[in-house]
Amino acid sequence: MTDTDSPQRANIGWNVLDEWGIGALAIVAAGMMAYAAIVLSYLDYVPLWDGRIYADCVLDAAERLSFGALGCAGHNSQAYILPLALAARFAPAAPGSIVPLVVTNVVLGLMALAALARLLGHVLPGRQRAAERALACCAFAVHPLFTASTLQPNIDFGTLVFALPCVCALIERRVMAATVLGCFLVFTKEPALIVYASFVLSALFVLVARPAGTWRAALAECRPFAPLVVPLVLAGVYLAPSLVEIIPDLLWSGDSPPGLAAGAVTARMLIDAIDLNYGLGLFVLSFMWVPTIVIVGDLGVAPMMTRLGGRADVGSPGPGGPTRAIVYGTLVMTLVLTRYKSFSNFRYFLTLYPFFVVICAVALAKRVRWRPARLGVTGVLVVLFAVSNFRTIDPVSRAVFGTFPFGAHDLLDMTANTGECCGHGRDQLVYNLEFTAIATLQDEALAQIRPTADTVLSMDTQANWYTVGPVDPVTFRRTLDRAGAIEPRVLDTRDLGKASSLPEEMFYFAFANVENQQSLAWLADRYTVSAVLAFDERGYTLRVYRMARREG
C-alpha cells in the first residue's frame, strides 16, 4: 500500500501524544466535557414518546436480564440494551431513575467520540493537522442530534456507538477486533447490518481488492478477512424469519404518510416528499448545510482545477485508502438507509452524521490552503452546533422546514413537508434539546393538578403517544417507577368521541406540538371551561383547560 494515510500505522503503534500534541488533545477533551455537561444537565428529564418505550424496555430488561427481554420494540437491540440494563439494575439510584441510563449513554458516547478522533487521525494524519482533527471531533461532540439522542432513549444511538470503533478496526485491518465489534453492531438494530456491510465492502474494495490489481490476487488478499462475514451470518440467521415478512415493506412502503404510501411500486423508488425531508435532515438541519457546502465545493473544485491547470495544496491529504473507504461506505449507507420510507425521526440516520463531519474535514484540508481559514470554519461550526442544542436558530432550517410557535420560541415544523402524523412532530422534534420543555411543562402541570387514578387527562389525538404514563404519588410528576405510581386516565379526543359517556370533569393539555383548535371546538360543544392553567418554562408555554361537562 502507498497511501499517505496508511492504516498500517496501527501495526507499529500509535503514539497519541506525538500524533496529536497536548493542545489538540485538550481541545478534544474540552469537546467531550462539553458533550457530557450538556446531556447531564437534563437528568431531571423523564422520557416521553418513543423514548418512553425504550426506557421501559431497559427497566424491564434490568429485572429479567434475558436475551429476549433485551430486544426492545421487536428489534435485535441486545448488544446495546445490555449495558443499559446492567446499569439500571446495579447502579445505586432511585427505582426507575433515568440517571443510570443517561450516564451509561454518556460513557458510550465518549467512547464513540474517542473512536471518531482515532478515525480522523487516519484521514488527516500528522501533527500539523491535529488541531483540525480536534475541532472536527468537537463539532460532532456538540451536534444537537447527537446530544438529544444521548438523552432520549433509543437504539439508533447504540448503532452509532459500535459503528465508529468498528470502522476504525476495519481501516486498521484489525480483523478480529472488527469482527467482534461487528457482532455487537449488528445486534443494536436491523439497519446496523447495512452499516456494517457497507463499510466492510468499501474497506475490502479500497484497501485490499483494488490495490491487488487482478481478481485472483484480490481474492487471495481477501481470504484473511473471511471472519468479517461472521456478524452478518449471526444476524442473518437470527433475523431471517422476520426479514422474509418485512423486506417488501422496507423496500416499497415503510410507515409513510398514507397519501404517499399509496403510490405505485416504481414511484416509491423515485424522489418524493419523504426523500426531500430526509435530504433536508441529513444535509441542511441544524447548520448541516455548512459541511454540505464544503463537501459539494470539494466535488466541484477538483474537476474545475484540473481543467484550469491548477493544483491542490501540496500538503493536503490525497484521496487515500481510508478516506475512500469512508466516502464509499457512507455513500452506500446513505443510499440504502434512506430507501426505507418512514417518519422524519432523524435519529434513524444518526450514524451518518459523524462521517459527514469527517468528509467535511478532509474536504477543507484539501481545498482551503490557509490553515487559519480551515480552523475558523470548523470552529464556527462547533459554536453553531453547540448553540443549536438549546435554540432553533438556523435560518436555513427554519426556511426549508417551517416553524411553529412554542411560547416565545419557534421549533421546526418537522412534518410540514411530508404531511406525516403527529401534529408538528413528536420524536421528529428530537433534533435538539428543546423538546424536553414539553416534558417539563407537563410535569409542572401534573404537580399542580395532583391527579389520582380517577382523574381524566385529555389531549389531541396526535399528541397521545406514551406522553403521560405513571405519576409519582408524592411529587405528582411523571416517573419511570411503576411501583405504587398513580395511573391517571388518559382519553384523547378520539377516545372521547368513541366513549359511551363523557367524564364529568377532565383536564385538556393543549400541547404546542399539535393543533388544538379543532379539538377545543369539539369539546366546547360538550364542556365548559372552568379554569385555564398557564405554565411557563424559560419562554416555552403550556395551557391546561379544566373542563366540566355541560348539563343535558
Residue 446 is part of which domain span?
434-549
Work out the number of other CB atoms within 10 angstroms of the CB of residue 204. 18
406 lies in some domain? no
Task: Select the more confidently predicted residue: 339 or 314.
Answer: 339
At 468, the amino acid letter reads: V
Count how many domains the chain has. Answer: 2
Do 365 and 471 have their domain in common? no
What are the phi and psi torsion angles at 410 (to 5°)?
Answer: -120, 135
Please enumerate in sequence order all residues whose Cβ is within 8 A of that of 85, keeping only pairs 6 or more positions apart, or say none. Answer: 58, 61, 62, 65, 69, 70
Do 223 and 325 have their domain in common? yes
281 lies in some domain? yes
Work out the number of other CB atoms within 10 angstroms of the CB of residue 2. 7
Grid coordinates representing 549 are 361537562
CB distance 146 to 388 below 8 Å: no
What is the average pLDDT across 113-128?
95
131 lies in some domain? yes
In 3-state terms, what secondary structure has residue 51?
Answer: helix
425 lies in some domain? no
Do 439 and 384 have their domain in common? no
Do 368 and 476 have their domain in common? no
At residue 166, the pLDDT reads 98
pLDDT at 10 over 60: no
- Among residues 353, 388, 423, the one where a domain terminates is 388
Rounded to whole angstroms, what are the CA distances from 284 to 174, 214, 397? 35, 41, 6
Do 184 and 74 have their domain in common? yes
480 lies in some domain? yes
At residue 246, the pLDDT reads 58
At residue 396, the pLDDT reads 98
At residue 271, the pLDDT reads 77
395 lies in some domain? no
419 lies in some domain? no
Q: pTM for the whole thing?
A: 0.91
Q: In this predicted model, what pLDDT tens digit does every residue of 428-466 receive, in sequence order?
A: 999 999 999 999 999 999 999 999 999 999 999 999 999
Do 357 and 457 have their domain in common? no
Question: For the chain, how far is it from start to end, CA to CA, in angstroms?
Answer: 85
Do 311 and 460 have their domain in common? no
At residue 315, the pLDDT reads 45
- Among residues 360, 388, 416, the one where a domain terminates is 388
409 lies in some domain? no
Cell 494524519 -> residue: 125
Rounded to whole angstroms, what are the CA distances from 428 to 127, 130, 373, 481? 40, 36, 35, 26
Do 358 and 447 have their domain in common? no
Q: Are strands 505-510 and 456-459 parallel, antiparallel or unpaired?
A: parallel
Which pLDDT band, with edges at 50, 70 and 90, does 216 fall under? confident
Do 111 and 253 have their domain in common? yes
At residue 272, the pLDDT reads 85
The dihedral built from the CA positions of residue 352, 358, 362 and 368, taken in this order, carries a sign that is positive
Grid coordinates representing 414 are 418537522
Distance CA 526, CA 365 (A): 65
Strand order in the sheet with 540-549: 489-490, 456-459, 505-510, 540-549, 527-537
CA angle 112–114–118, rounded 5-degree value? 115
pLDDT at 2 over 70: no
What are the phi and psi torsion angles at 110 (to 5°)?
Answer: -65, -35
Do 296 and 378 have their domain in common? yes
Q: In this predicted model, what pLDDT tens digit does every residue of 491-545 receive, in sequence order?
A: 999 999 999 999 999 999 999 999 999 999 999 999 999 999 999 999 999 999 9
- Among residues 372, 388, 404, the one where a domain terminates is 388
Distance CA 294, CA 317 (A): 15
Work out the number of other CB atoms within 10 angstroms of the CB of residue 21. 16
Average pLDDT, the chain: 90
Any idea which of 11-25, 201-215, 401-415, 487-501 has the lowest mean pLDDT? 11-25
Do 372 and 454 have their domain in common? no
Q: Are strands 456-459 and 409-412 parallel, antiparallel or unpaired?
A: unpaired
Do 487 and 349 have their domain in common? no
